[in-house]
Chain A
Amino acid sequence: MRPIERYVEAMENKDFTALGELFTKNGHLCDYCPNGTAQHEYHLYGKEAIAMFFRNKFSFRQYSILEAAIANDTQAEFIASFGGFHVMAIATVQKVSEDGLIERMTVRPK
Chain B
Amino acid sequence: MGVYAITGGSSGIGAKTVELLKEAGHEVINIDLKDGDICVNLASPEGRQQAVEELHRMHPEGLDGMICNAGVSGACGNLKLIISLNYFGTVALARGVYDLLEKKHGNCVVTASNTISQGAGRMDVADLLNNIGDEQRILNLVDSWDGSNLSVGNSIYVATKYALARWVRRHSASFAANGVRINAVAPGNVNTAMTATMSTNAKMALNALPIPTKYGQETLMDPEEIASVIVFLASPASCGVNGNIMFVDGGTDALLNTEKVY
Contacts and interface: CB of A to CB of B under 8 A. Distances in A.
Nearest to A56: B208
Contacts of A40: 257-260
Contacts of B259: 40-41, 43
A43 B256 CA distance: 10
A42 B207 CA distance: 21
B96 to A, nearest CB: 37
A52 interface: yes
Given A59-B204, A59-B205, A52 B257 contact: no
Nearest to A41: B259
Contacts of B256: 53, 56
B113 to A, nearest CB: 15
Contacts of A59: 204-205, 207-208
B210 A56 contact: yes
A21 interface: no
Contacts of A52: 210, 212, 215, 255
Contacts, number: 36
A68 interface: no
Interface in B227-262: 255-260
Contacts of B260: 40
Contact of B215 (A38, A39, A42, A48): A48
B209 interface: yes
Interface string A43-84: 110001100110110011000000000000000000000000
A59 B201 CA distance: 11
Given A40-B260, A48-B215, A53 B208 contact: no
A17 to B, nearest CB: 11
B255 A49 contact: yes
A42 B204 contact: no
B205 to A, nearest CB: 7
B205 A53 contact: no
Interface of B: 119-120, 204-205, 207-210, 212, 215, 255-260
